[in-house]
Amino acid sequence: MKRETLAARQERVAHVIERLGRVYPEAECALRHSNPLELLVATILSAQCTDERVNQVTARLFRKYPTAADYAGASAEELEAEIHSLGFFRNKARSLRACCQRLVEEHGGEVPRTMGELVALDGVGRKTANVILGNAFGANEGIVVDTHVARLSGRLGLSRETDPVRIEQDLMALVPRSEWTRFSHWLIWHGRRRCAARRPDCAGCELRAWCPSAGGCSLASRTRSVAGGADRGGRKGDSAVSSRAALDAGGSRKSRSS
């Protein structure tokens, strides 16, 4: 991939942002929610599961457990039965109950509004915190890096990194802060609709003029083993669509100091 100056990349990103904004003006978080708690729950449940399936389960779940105290007070068996179809249900149920217990004990049952307080919750890493802050509170504290964002960041020449934290840092240096949340949505939507992992539609891509990988994505895009953004360097792994969450969900209980 040909190297370019920071100024040149920023100019190219400006074109990418303008184009994506016109192509996907309706882009938003795919997880259905009506308040911060619902989004937090849905994001924790979304590890290694499609948003569509999560939405099917949470439609009932949100009615049955409207408050953090309801989740904290539910038995493990009851909650596991409710989310069984989502996979890794035991660990997800454990994270939900522990997370909501802490919300009740330390935050009056409300979802906190700061990165530090959010990542201190069970099942919440930086990526999940970015989802909550950007979509529930309108606060651009970072950029959500999932599999689509990681893949397109490489193909568009915005980052050479494979670690999601480093990819996020690269993107934050290129994308205006006011666009951080929407930029994630745009790349996710574009990744699902146009720039697929195996067979990207380069010929029909709206970003072709600004993409250094256009026509040769199979060569230009290195395989990224981030699977939605493991939270390296943080206290906990990220439960929102991350490979590390899948490992957590499939096995051992996370310690509070991990």
Query: Which residues are the active-site residues?
Result: 127, 146
Q: The dihedral of CA 218, 247, 150, 29: what is its sign?
A: positive
Instruction: Find out whether 239 and 125 touch, Cβ atoms under 8 Å.
Output: yes
CA gap 100, 94 in Å, rounded: 10
CA gap 173, 17 in Å, rounded: 14
139 class by beta-carbon count within 10 Å (0-12 exposed, 13-18 middle, 19+ buried): middle
Task: For 141-225, list the strands marked E by DSSP.
Answer: none
What tokens appear for 131 in the block?
Answer: 């989802």
